[in-house]
Structure 1
Amino acid sequence: MSAVAKCNTMNTLGAIHELAERLTAIQQELIRVKGTIIQVITSEEEYDRALALLDELTESETTSPANESLVDQLCASIKRYEDTAPQFAEFNEQVAAITGVDMLKFLMVQNKLTGSDLPEIGDKTVVSRTLNGKRTLSSIDIQALSQRFHLEPSAFYPVI
């Protein structure tokens, strides 16, 4: 093995050793505060702790790429738990049943709109036919409504 290869191997081994020591110190601190690195949430208690940690991280005045990465990972873990936990099953089923027309009706009520207030999808008759289920929202309608209400287009597409 060449001297350069030995040096690179030693540097890599040194970095791995340093990482192992840092992870051990983090784990010891987590044990001390009765915490854990959240990867998979398996109970309501862990879920509550994850939400509290998320609040703490998002209310912090200091943001860093590491902090943002942790928030992203935590949000993904929380979402996985909420998608599969039995206590959220009924809610998830109700959310999945919401159609684009249901979303449009909700937005109309929320914003006190009538059929003639939605030129994005057509005149009052077209809006009425859409709301009564005789016409579906087209992709062009969805794009226009998404822009108007500042929503992702997926809010109007059925959940598959």
Structure 2
Amino acid sequence: MSVLIEQVVEHWQFVSPLLRKPKTEADYDVLVEALDELLDIVGENEAHPLMGVVDIIGDWVEAYDLEHWPIPEVSGVDVLRSMMQEHGLTQSDLPGVGAQSVVSEILSGKRQLNVRQIRWLAEFFKVPVDMFI
């Protein structure tokens, strides 16, 4: 048996909780807590010796998140509604989209955002264009 495998066998009981994919929420919670602690240690140092463990645990946490709490698909109109609410805007506060009646039709689903409107919204809110597509 190689020295590396001997060391793994000797220390497995201590590291095994961190080196398996989460199957339950309790497993997930253990990994998230460990990841937080590891990130505190590693910081911004991409060359840190523990970065490989951070990557593995991070991938497992992300996969569990996506499987159990998927991000819902949203339309450009949903994003627009949210951005308007976040910024306290009314339909008439978006002249680059069109008149208040045009914005109303877009928000109600009677009209779709066109390329010019999407570009204006992206510049207005300082976000990527694809947020409204």
1:78 aligns with 2:54: no
The 3 A distance-change label for structure 1 pair 110 and 138 is same
Displacement of 1:133:
0.7
Partner residue in 2 for 1:48: 29
Q: Indicate if the aligned counterparts of 1:120 and 1:141 stay in contact, CA closer than 8 A.
A: yes
1:72 and 1:111, CA in 2 relative to 1: closer, same or farther beyond 3 A?
farther
Q: Where do residues 140-159 of structure 1 align in structure 2 (5 Å cutoff)?
A: 140-157=116-133
Q: Which amino acid aligns with 2:43?
A: T
SS in 2 for 1:35: helix
1: CA distance, partners of 2:126 / 2:8: 41
Instruction: Indicate how the Cα distance of structure 1 residues 51 and 27 shifts in structure 2: closer, same or farther if over 3 A, else same.
Output: farther
**3-state SS in 1 of match to 2:58:** helix
RMSD, aligned CA: 3.3
Structure number with greater Rg is: 1
TM, length-normalised to structure 2: 0.68
Q: Which residue of 1 aligns with 2:18?
A: 36
Give, in angstroms, the shift of residue 134 of structure 1.
Answer: 1.2
Looking at structure 1, the residues matched to 94 and 19 of structure 2 have their Cα atoms a distance apart, in angstroms, of: 48
Number of residues of Structure 1 aligned to a counterpart in Structure 2:
130
Which of residues 35, 39, 44 in structure 2 aligns to 1:58? 39
Aligned to 1:109: 85
Q: Which runs of 5+ in 2 are unaligned?
A: none
Gaps of 5+ in 1: 1-16
Q: Give runs of aligned pairs for residues 3-18 of structure 1, distance below 5 A.
A: none
Residues in 1 aligned to 2:106 and 2:54: alpha-carbon distance in whole angstroms: 40
Is the CA contact (8 Å cut-off) linking 1:30 and 1:36 kept in structure 2? no
